[in-house]
């Protein structure tokens, strides 16, 4: 019951929080404090602050924490913008013009730079230039900057198309190349599903992007490709509509039907009911003890979203447990296949005198 109250308060605080003048909210103090704790931990505290500022909740201890988060995010945003501009300058000195993904490319769509915190500056560089770009950044002052040149959510085989479709937007007079909106929507939803949508802030990103689309947006392009990509875009957008009130009218996604299990799986993760933290020891290392093996499997049990994505399963109303069992079994078999090297690694942990090969 406590988690249900906190989840309800969380969605109330986040719903339409990206509006330029969001409507104020009223919540019971305990529910608000619990939701604020969750949102602060997930990076969405500044958005919640916009829903309560000017009201009685703003004066509470939790409200002051949300206000402080907003101020901190605004300061950090300025620092990250400086890193972005300087990183682009350094790379363009050697003829490399990367695409910025995530980070500021999403934050710029919010009405206030302090609303969307981000960490790394994610730059997509053609594979032929990646080693040279990394070496140039590592050679000077940028070596300690949070710049990431690796990307798991963009198709490398379509690099030429990504660059051809990309757009240039200004940041304090500095041109910044960003993904086309169609590619950005696909990239955001792919990334979020790969990480099981565990941060509420990510779903706000999709809502903000959907409501910033300009006439001429190519829905055929956005929904092209494998069914998994199309279903992913559709489901994440529909979730943004159901949970956060994102407006989908006038898009092919309006009226999209969600699988029955999806929204509960997402909110369960927001509430911290499904966590997947473990000690990093492979499953096969516990084969000698059924009790430890069962505990390890329980720790690693995939969420319905993780199992669906990793097994390439359809987003339909079928039960998820067969995919969860299959995903866990496959990971166990892979762990068994690596067992000899695992044992050697574990032995080195317990024998610090043995020289390391790394």
- Name the residue ranges covered by the structural domains of the chain: 2-270, 283-350
The per-residue pLDDT of the chain, averaged, comes to 88
Percent of the chain exceeding pLDDT 90 equals 65
Residue, of 68 and 277, whose pLDDT is higher: 68
Instruction: Give the model confidence (pLDDT) of 172-188 as tens digits.
Output: 999 999 999 999 999 99
pLDDT mean over 14-34: 94
- Report the Cα 44 to chain-centroid distance in Å: 12
pLDDT mean over 51-60: 94
Residue 2 confidence (pLDDT): 52
Instruction: Give the model confidence (pLDDT) of 90-139 as tens digits.
Output: 999 999 999 999 999 999 999 987 899 998 899 999 888 999 999 988 88
Dihedral, 14, 196, 148, 166 alpha carbons, nearest 10: -70
Per-residue confidence band for 231, with pLDDT thresholds at 50, 70 and 90: very high
pLDDT mean over 213-228: 92
pLDDT mean over 196-225: 94
Contact 344, 260 (CB under 8 A): no
Residue 212 confidence (pLDDT): 96
pLDDT mean over 32-56: 94
What is d(CA 215, CA 84) in angstroms, rounded to the nearest whole number? 29
- Exposure string over 176-194, b if 16+ CB within 10 A, otherwise e: bbbbbbbbbbbbbbbbbbe
Instruction: Give the model confidence (pLDDT) of 144-167 as tens digits.
Output: 788 888 777 788 778 899 999 999
Give the pairing of strands 174-178 and 167-171: antiparallel
What is d(CA 259, CA 112) in angstroms, rounded to the nearest whole number? 34
pLDDT mean over 339-343: 59
Instruction: Give the model confidence (pLDDT) of 294-330 as tens digits.
Output: 887 777 888 999 999 999 999 999 999 999 999 988 9
What is d(CA 86, CA 206) in angstroms, rounded to the nearest whole number? 28
Task: Flag whether pLDDT at 274 surpasses 60.
Answer: no
Per-residue confidence band for 277, with pLDDT thresholds at 50, 70 and 90: very low
């Amino acid at each position: 019951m406590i988690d249900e109250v906190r989840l309800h308060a969380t969605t109330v605080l986040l719903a339409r929080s990206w509006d330029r003048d969001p409507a104020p909210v009223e919540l019971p103090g305990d529910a608000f404090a619990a939701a604020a704790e969750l949102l602060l931990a997930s990076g969405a505290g500044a958005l919640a602050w916009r829903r309560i500022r000017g009201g009685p909740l703003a004066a509470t201890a939790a409200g002051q924490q949300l206000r402080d988060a907003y101020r901190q995010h605004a300061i950090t945003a300025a620092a990250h913008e400086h890193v972005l501009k300087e990183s682009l300058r350094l790379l363009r000195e050697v003829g490399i013009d990367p695409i910025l993904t995530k980070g500021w490319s999403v934050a710029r769509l919010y009405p206030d730079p302090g609303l969307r915190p981000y960490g790394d500056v994610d730059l997509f560089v053609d594979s032929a230039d990646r080693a040279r770009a990394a070496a140039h950044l590592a050679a000077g002052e940028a070596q300690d900057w949070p710049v990431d040149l690796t990307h798991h959510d963009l198709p490398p085989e379509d690099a030429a198309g990504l660059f051809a479709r990309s757009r240039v937007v200004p940041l304090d007079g500095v041109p910044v190349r960003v993904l086309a909106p169609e590619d950005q929507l696909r990239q955001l939803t792919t990334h979020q599903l790969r990480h099981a949508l565990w941060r509420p802030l990510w779903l706000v990103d999709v809502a903000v992007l959907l409501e910033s689309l300009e006439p001429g947006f190519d829905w055929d392009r956005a929904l092209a490709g494998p069914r998994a990509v199309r279903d992913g875009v559709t489901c994440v957008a529909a979730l943004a509509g159901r949970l956060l009130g994102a407006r989908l009218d006038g898009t092919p996604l309006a009226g999209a039907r969600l699988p029955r299990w999806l929204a509960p799986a997402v909110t369960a993760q927001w509430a911290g009911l499904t966590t997947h933290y473990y000690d990093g020891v492979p499953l096969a290392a516990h084969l000698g003890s059924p009790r430890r093996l069962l505990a390890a499997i329980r720790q690693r049990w995939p969420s319905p979203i993780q199992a669906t994505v990793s097994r390439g399963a359809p987003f339909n109303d079928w039960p998820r447990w067969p995919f969860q069992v299959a995903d866990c079994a496959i990971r166990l078999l892979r762990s068994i296949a690596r067992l000899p090297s695992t044992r050697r690694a574990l032995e080195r942990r317990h024998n610090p005198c043995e020289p390391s090969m790394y």
